[in-house]
Structure 1
Amino acid sequence: MSTTPAFDIVFFGGTGDLALRKLIPSLYHAHKAGALHQDGRIFALGRKDIGRDGYLALLSERVKPRLGVDFDEDVWAGFASRLHFQTLDAGRADDYAALAQALGVSPERVTVCYLATAPHLFTTICQQLAVVGINHPNVRVVLEKPLGHDLESSNAINAAVGKCFAENQIYRIDHYLGKESVQNLMAIRFGNTLFEPLWRREWIDNVQITIAEELGVEERGEFYDRTGALRDMLQSHLLQLLCMVAMEPPPSLSEDVVRDEKLKVLKSLKPFTPEDVLAKTVRGQYRSGAINGMPVAAYRDEHKVAPDSNTETFVALQAEVGNWRWAGVPFFLRTGKRMQERVAEIVINFRKVPHSVFPMPIGLHSANRLVIRLQPKESVRLYFLAKEPGDAMSLQSTYLNLDFHTMFKARWADAYERLLLDVIRGRLALFMRCDEQAQAWSWVEPIIDCWNRHAIAPKLYTAGSWGPAASSGLLSRAGVVWHEET
């Protein structure tokens, strides 16, 4: 594996959950694999003055246990030598001057500023970085989602950040785009003659995209209650996955060519009328139930959640891409917390044969389907019918399975590791462009407005289930079912 250029990476919110759960472990794995330049420093920023020793103690408590069998004491010692801690309050100008002094700002050195903070701080942080000169052409700023609360606030943040950094310095991260299986979706479509001729309305009946979580809101109750599943997951992760499924073959894999094709998909999404919102969206919220046999509280009983909250923890909807390739093909998108299973997958259901000469298995809704599993274990399965052994000509559904972990013996980088390395190397293809994000918000906003205007309360569903019954009803009206129900 090739190493990165020399770099400094600065984590705003370096003591927060995202840094401790994902970012620091990902860099440890990259360090262990030899992917990081020897001259690479990691600066964690936090409001409390815990010092470097205090930060290392925090990592020993919170990060080391997450590394499991990958933890190696000697490797950790080398990794820890890269780590620095700097006290910084986002609202204090003097703290940025101290950061610039600690970094020793050099226009030749790659500097990554990762804003793992609340979005309302993005503007202030970027403005202060510009004041102290941490915005030269080799500085890259990473913005976590959700970027804003609606189209207006998103545009305001992008405009403010754009005054401090050029567009090619801004990395709007969506970690689902860094998953190996999502990259393989492009390889399946554009590297093989088998699928691309069939990847259209004549042969595909419907597409289902699901991101289901067993977890509740954990310690994010206050944030989540202001945000909800539509803003937190659908306008970012799910729409980006839809773009990867529906985009036209790009002329090349260069960053703006790929992002141009994704933007075309977003512009082709049929806008929702108020009637569409009422008929084609489902808003849900979990009540108490059980996950893996353990009782869990209702959303309204979670820490820092309003007892009368109408924030949705589940959303399902039916979308359509209005172009020649996809006209009339329903795209069903679904995401929720406290679901029966932790799973993220894309399901391509192909049309039935026009006339079957065989007795069909009971309950079979689609003979052929492609299931791209994103988590927890990444794989691709192609389902088809085959004859059962015996005298009778009876068919059974079976599948070809590509299990990446079994097939490929190379080391497996997780999504955040891949994306962090891409930022350091200056690769933008897997990050959202400003116009992509604005278009996604433009499509989502009519749904939010209609929910608010009609005071549509979320339908309750039991924690540990697959969401409100109305979600299954949404598909049944189109004559199909969710993949797990087949």
Structure 2
Amino acid sequence: MAATLTNPLRVGLRQERVIPPQCLIVFGASGDLTHRKLIPALFELFLQRRLSSEFAVLGCARRPWSDEIFRQTMAERLQPAIAAHPQSWEQFSQGLFYEPVDLQQPEHLVRLAQRLEQVDRQRATRGERTFYLSVSPAFYGSGARALAGAGLLADRQRSRLVIEKPFGTDYASAQQLNRVVRSCGQENQIFRIDHYLGKETVQNIMVLRFANSIFEPLWNRNHISSVQITAAETVGVEQRASYYEQSGALKDMVQNHLTQMLALTAMEPPGRFEPESIRNEKAKVLQAAHLASPEQPWTCCVRGQYGSGGTAERPMASYRHEPGVDPHSTTETYVAVKLFIDNWRWQGVPFYLRTGKHLAKRLSEVTLTFRDAPVRLFDAAAGGVSANQFVIRIQPNEGATFRFEVKAPGSGMRSRPISMNFSYDDSFGEPSDEGYVRLLADAMLGDPTLFTRSDEVEAAWRLYTPILEGLKQSPDKFPAYPYEAGTWGPAESDELLARDGLLWRRP
């Protein structure tokens, strides 16, 4: 009560829907994602009292663990969260179970079905099941087929299938995988996860646009001159070299995360706030998007690869010297692309997307730059006149910043830019939930709003097909320019914007 009195913005928080009784079945339960993201997210939902007492998690993997070993392993890896809530963990962990399963072995699926019936009776989960494929992407299709073949996806109302990214490796493979999963269940049963969509400020893009009359009239080509979408990381590839060598930054980040932020930023207002209305508009805008030059994609795409850098106290090895990386690798750790959207709202407005590892700062943001005033009436203070910008900060320090010109102090009439900031933490007095908390809850509730539909996935892959084909056919036209670790990427990326008289935003 005291927090509500001191901060009225917190009124109404934590009134989310309670997840009905069900069993979450996680394939790949011995893997990294389960103990780093999934179980912590479920425990957070439990602490928020959003999980009913009739809830169970059945971990599945090939390791011959028991229920108790699974519980102990998760407990060992979830400190110090458990140390802060030991009694809650004790209660929560009673709903954790384990069954050794190889999805390629039919007899294992028979045993799994029997175990699920047992869990249903023991935990009163009433046959509500969410199957989560946290396995190698190579097994998404065969895993879905195995579950469907065992009849575990037959109940269209009470069974759901969550599939991790990456969903395909190119347009053709995404089409094929969509055909497979659609043959195993209805579209409303399939939840293709993109954890960026679980972030509070990504969802806030829709609220800012469609709940405020001051923004939506300006959100178009008449007032906005360019849009930048950035996802920068300060870390390198760490332990993911084997995966990263096959994907690179384009497939790992741009095709999914950044393209979903593009869709939310550029989509038309949905007729109603319901899952299919929102996903329809996202699909439409992605289908209208294209590279600035699809015929010559090397002119609108810059690839980079980090070299060594850092300081004497914190040296950073080059990508080619990371464990597991080919010493002659040409895989990109940085990529920037220029896009256009051919529709009435955005015709002629360039969209610039960039992402990279070992960059100067960790941040994800969307920057909308407004057109200059038609007449410059006032002199500028030191630094010159800056364009108005609206920046939506996804991470860290979730919030938004609006930059505009005001009169500089003094007797003259000179202008200078200032920033008006909104911070989630400062305004609401508590940090936002981690993305998987929201997405797991929505999947178990059967709400597909924040999950990508099949046509969205295919449209996103189609968008970057000219680059992927160009890399195969003419790799010399797509060099991975070197850049020093700890900087903002290769100089060639700056030239991508300089041709239009623009600069990347430097936070």
Q: TM-score normalized by structure 1?
A: 0.95
Go from structure 1 to structure 2 and tell me whether the alpha carbon gap of 1:226 and 1:390 turns closer, same or farther (over 3 Å shift).
Answer: same
Aligned pairs for 1:67-86 (under 5 A) are 67=81, 71-86=84-99
| 2:11 matched residue in structure 1 | none
Does residue 96 of structure 1 match 2:99? no
Does residue 11 of structure 1 match 2:26? yes
For each residue in 1:117-152, what CA deviation from the matched residue of structure 2 results, as whole angstroms up to 9, or x when unmatched? 111101111111122221021111111111111111
- The one-letter amino acid paired with 1:114 is Y
SS in 1 for 2:380: coil
CA contact (8 A) 2:292 2:338 kept: no
Of 462, 466, 471, 2:484 maps to 462
- The one-letter amino acid paired with 1:133 is G
| 1:483 matched residue in structure 2 | 505
Go from structure 1 to structure 2 and tell me whether the alpha carbon gap of 1:229 and 1:72 turns closer, same or farther (over 3 Å shift).
Answer: same
In 2: Cα distance, 1:477 partner to 1:385 partner: 26
Q: CA deviation at 1:53?
A: 2.6
| 1:262 matched residue in structure 2 | 282
Aligned pairs for 1:142-153 (under 5 A) are 142-153=162-173
CA contact (8 A) 1:285 1:314 kept: yes
Of 469, 472, 480, 2:494 maps to 472
Aligned pairs for 1:185-264 (under 5 A) are 185-264=205-284
Does residue 376 of structure 1 match 2:396? yes
In 2: Cα distance, 1:52 partner to 1:219 partner: 28
Does residue 123 of structure 1 match 2:138? no
| 1:397 matched residue in structure 2 | 417
For each residue in 1:2-61, what CA deviation from the matched residue of structure 2 results, as whole angstroms up to 9, or x when unmatched? 311111111111121221211111111110010111111012222211322322332233
CA contact (8 A) 2:18 2:50 kept: yes
In 1: Cα distance, 2:449 partner to 2:313 partner: 42
For each residue in 1:235-265, what CA deviation from the matched residue of structure 2 results, as whole angstroms up to 9, or x when unmatched? 1111110011111111111111111111111
SS in 2 for 1:64: coil
In 1: Cα distance, 2:60 partner to 2:233 partner: 30
| 2:324 matched residue in structure 1 | 304
Of 122, 133, 142, 2:151 maps to 133
Go from structure 1 to structure 2 and tell me whether the alpha carbon gap of 1:450 and 1:292 turns closer, same or farther (over 3 Å shift).
Answer: farther
Aligned pairs for 1:173-192 (under 5 A) are 173-192=193-212
In 2: Cα distance, 1:288 partner to 1:278 partner: 26
Structure 1 range deviating more: 387-396 or 139-148:
387-396
For each residue in 1:79-102, what CA deviation from the matched residue of structure 2 results, as whole angstroms up to 9, or x when unmatched? 211111221223222222222111
In 1: Cα distance, 2:323 partner to 2:342 partner: 42
In 2: Cα distance, 1:291 partner to 1:195 partner: 43
Go from structure 1 to structure 2 and tell me whether the alpha carbon gap of 1:361 and 1:89 turns closer, same or farther (over 3 Å shift).
Answer: farther
| 1:437 matched residue in structure 2 | 457
- The one-letter amino acid paired with 1:81 is Q
CA contact (8 A) 1:201 1:328 kept: yes
In 2: Cα distance, 1:452 partner to 1:54 partner: 46
CA contact (8 A) 2:381 2:408 kept: no
- The one-letter amino acid paired with 1:80 is S
Go from structure 1 to structure 2 and tell me whether the alpha carbon gap of 1:363 and 1:97 turns closer, same or farther (over 3 Å shift).
Answer: farther
In 2: Cα distance, 1:68 partner to 1:467 partner: 40
In 2: Cα distance, 1:458 partner to 1:391 partner: 52
SS in 1 for 2:114: helix
Structure 1 range deviating more: 323-332 or 49-58:
49-58
In 1: Cα distance, 2:204 partner to 2:96 partner: 34
In 2: Cα distance, 1:389 partner to 1:366 partner: 17
Go from structure 1 to structure 2 and tell me whether the alpha carbon gap of 1:226 and 1:380 turns closer, same or farther (over 3 Å shift).
Answer: same
Of 29, 32, 43, 2:58 maps to 43
| 1:63 matched residue in structure 2 | 78
CA contact (8 A) 2:43 2:92 kept: yes
Count of paired positions:
483
Does residue 337 of structure 1 match 2:352? no
Go from structure 1 to structure 2 and tell me whether the alpha carbon gap of 1:292 and 1:121 turns closer, same or farther (over 3 Å shift).
Answer: farther
CA contact (8 A) 2:292 2:340 kept: no
In 1: Cα distance, 2:337 partner to 2:87 partner: 50
In 2: Cα distance, 1:100 partner to 1:254 partner: 33
CA contact (8 A) 2:291 2:297 kept: no
- The one-letter amino acid paired with 1:285 is Q
SS in 1 for 2:406: strand
CA contact (8 A) 1:214 1:291 kept: no
In 1: Cα distance, 2:32 partner to 2:252 partner: 16
SS in 1 for 2:239: coil
Q: CA deviation at 1:361?
A: 4.0
- The one-letter amino acid paired with 1:78 is Q
CA contact (8 A) 1:321 1:327 kept: yes
CA contact (8 A) 2:386 2:405 kept: no
Go from structure 1 to structure 2 and tell me whether the alpha carbon gap of 1:461 and 1:177 turns closer, same or farther (over 3 Å shift).
Answer: same
In 2: Cα distance, 1:68 partner to 1:484 partner: 39
In 1: Cα distance, 2:500 partner to 2:431 partner: 42
Q: CA RMSD in A?
A: 1.9
Go from structure 1 to structure 2 and tell me whether the alpha carbon gap of 1:36 and 1:365 turns closer, same or farther (over 3 Å shift).
Answer: farther
Percent identity at matched positions?
Answer: 39
Q: CA deviation at 1:275?
A: 4.9
